[in-house]
Amino acid sequence: MKRSSSISDKKSSSLFNNVVLEIGSTLVRGGIAGECVPRFIIPTPFFNMHNSQGDDLSHVSIKMNCLEGIRLIFLEHLQIRSKDCNVLIIENMFAPTFFRDQLFNVLLNEMQVQSVCFQPDMLMPILATGKLFGVYFHSQILN
């Protein structure tokens, strides 16, 4: 007996294609849009812009690190094909532009995702409320 596809089946399959990645200075969180919790939280050794001695890496090294990190995310943590995905990157406003460019090139050219959208991390809490305007306070406890 053939099962007819329902609207809920189509909805769940469309949600599966929207990947959300938050690349912070120490952790990468990511998952599928619409899920309550991230599918993974991992350290960011692949997205560092400095080597172990503290020297800046070249653009080629940063691109290779991004490629390795993104492949790890899609193949091991999300376990989905990158070609079927739209990617939302929640980024730190102060991330260097060349890092964003390298990440963008890796996602579109190497991983062949459908689309990439960058949004600042400070905007996300306001968008989640559904409001057009808001004030966002970010505090951090320093040791």
Distance CA 25, CA 42 (A): 11
Q: Predicted confidence band at 89 (pLDDT cuts at 50, 70, 90)?
A: very high
* Dihedral of alpha carbons 58, 30, 116, 71, sign: positive
Residue 51 CB-half CA count within 13 A: 7
Q: Predicted confidence band at 143 (pLDDT cuts at 50, 70, 90)?
A: low
Summarize pLDDT for 45-81 with one digit per residue, the tens.
766 655 455 455 676 777 788 888 889 889 898 888 8
